Structure 1
Amino acid sequence: MCMVIVKTGEPLTLMGVREELVDRPWEGPGEYWPEYPGVVGGRDLKAGGTWLAVDRAKRTAAALLNGRGTPAPEQTKISRGDLPLRAVASGSLPDVDLTRYDPFHLLLATPEGTRLWSWDGVRLSEAVLPEGVSVIVNSGLDPDDPRTIAQAPRFAAAQDWHGLTADAPSSDPSALIIRHELPDGRVYASSSVTLLTLGMDGVGYEFEDFSGWRAIR
């Protein structure tokens, strides 16, 4: 996950745009983890984790974004994809050795609000998202990021967020839906979008892989 937009209120609304190398295998939302019963998310088939986990019974979601900073040592590094699973299970920042993870931002959302933990490989910080619309990108809650500048007002003004993802993929640094051709010939692009509503009466879960929105039951 490389961009998350959150709007506070009843219900809380969260959109997560996943960006990855297009040849990295994955599959859409399901209950793939027996050790986390009832938790749903898309699964990264290379490392086995997820970029966004949802527990409907707890009305809780956790989203993971790659961060910036000091990478973990290669000999002890583990995938960050277990962090959303652990977060929805515990309702907090997972009790793990953070030095084994590359930099990340981990968002935990409930109807009551959201918390964001940011690890740069050396220091951990925590923030509570303010009221209104917040945009989280690879640099975190960064008001100067081109995507924040461009997308925050769009999402704040829109009553229905579904249509915003119809943008053509672009290499523009402010784009919502991206596609970048890398020097080595690989392609890094938006691969899917998740739209959640977390309310006192339940969770709405929709998923888009650019073949049309579908509800996740």
Structure 2
Amino acid sequence: MCLLLFAYRCHCDYPLLLIANRDEYYARPSAPAALWEGLGLVAGRDLQGGGTWAGMARGRVAAVTNIREPGRAVPEDLLSRGEIPLDFLAGNSTPYQFALGLQGQRYRGFNALLFDLEADKPLICAGNRHAPFPIPIGVHGISNGAPDAPWPKVERGKKGLRRIMRGIGDTITEDNFVRPALALLRHSQPAPEAELPHTGVGPARERALSPIFVHIDNRKSSSPGTAAPDNDQAGYGTRASTLIAVRKTGRCQLWEQSFAQGEPEGPLRHFALG
């Protein structure tokens, strides 16, 4: 994922509400959210790395986002970051135990959100650029930098999620949560140049990556017969918007909308566990 927005213990019946966008190369093969047979979890599937970007099991949620670090050396014996949420959801370790056991040196930079309703420390942010720490009560956001770093998309997303939270009554519905959350995740206006972070990819790329919903179509700038490098030929952008709601009873719901080249692909999928 490239943007995680979440409200932790901000609603009396829903200890965790998560909305997120997964940004990825359009050429990277993926499968939409589904039940993983034999594992009791629901998640999308990265068909190249074998893992997932976000998913749920009963009373458990996990999601991962990368850290933008251009030019940093690739670790030896590299592991896919998508294995992190998959392994957590398929296991029974507490979030903190799981975070301590991660071989951080074998991954590119990441932040992972790990939630277990029954754990002493239910919500942990793991990563290999910081020690694992419990998330405090409130509305938070993680993009491709430090947790809650005030990037424009993070600040805009947190403001939008707070507004959505004010409209939720006793229970979430399509009208008070699903539709407004998906609309927020489709916000595509780039940030003003003065507000852009500086992550080493250059001003043009920083601006293209600054909206909540990203769409970079490199086909428009490629001459006929000229190949762009590697996966970037088809472009890069938001491939899925994922919503997860955990009720205090342990019941979890997940909605996911896939995208191709900036447009919805297939129906909105909905799953419930517990």
TM-score between both structures, scaled by the size of structure 1: 0.84
Contact 1:67 1:118 in 2 (8 A): no
Partner AA of 1:117 in structure 2: A
| More strand as a share of residues | 1
Name the counterpart of 1:118: 127
CA contact (8 A) 1:147 1:173 kept: no
Q: Distance in 2 between matches of 1:96 and 1:165?
A: 30
Give 4+ residue runs of structure 1 displaced > 6 Å after superposition. Answer: none
1:100 Cα deviation from its structure 2 partner: 1.5
Of residues 146-155 and 165-174 in structure 1, the stretch that sits farther from structure 2 once superposed is 165-174
8 A Cα contact 1:31 1:38, kept in partner: yes
Structure 1 distance, partners of 2:131, 2:102, is 15
Q: Percent identity?
A: 24
Work out the CA distance in 1 between the residues paired with 2:155 and 2:209.
11
Q: Are 2:143 and 1:137 aligned?
A: yes
Gaps of 5+ in 1: none
Q: 1:86 to 1:18 in 2, by over 3 A?
A: same
Choose between structure 1 and 2: higher helix proportion.
2
Could you tell me how far apart the structure 2 residues matched to 1:23 and 1:173 are?
17
**Pairing 1:214–2:269 present:** yes
Q: Deviations over 1:38-89 (max 9, x none)?
A: 0221111111111113112xx1011011124554434x11212211122221
Question: Which residue of structure 2 lines up, in the alignment, with residue 13 of structure 1?
Answer: 17
**TM-score (ref. length: structure 2):** 0.68
Structure 1 contact 110–198 (Cα < 8 Å) conserved = no
Which residue matches 1:100? Answer: 106
| Partner secondary structure for residue 125 of structure 1 | coil
Q: Report what 1:177 is aligned to.
A: 213
**What is the rounded CA distance, in whole Å, between the counterparts of 1:146 and 1:190 in structure 2?**
17
Q: Which runs of 5+ in 2 are unaligned?
A: 168-176, 191-206, 222-227, 259-263
Larger radius of gyration: 2
Q: Of residues 144, 149, 165 in structure 1, which corresponds to 2:185?
A: 165
Q: Secondary structure at the match of 2:48?
A: coil
The 1:51–1:139 alpha-carbon spacing in structure 2 relative to 1, beyond 3 Å, is same
Q: 1:166 to 1:73 in 2, by over 3 A?
A: closer
Q: 1:91 aligns with which of 90, 94, 107?
A: 94
Number of aligned residue pairs: give it. Answer: 209
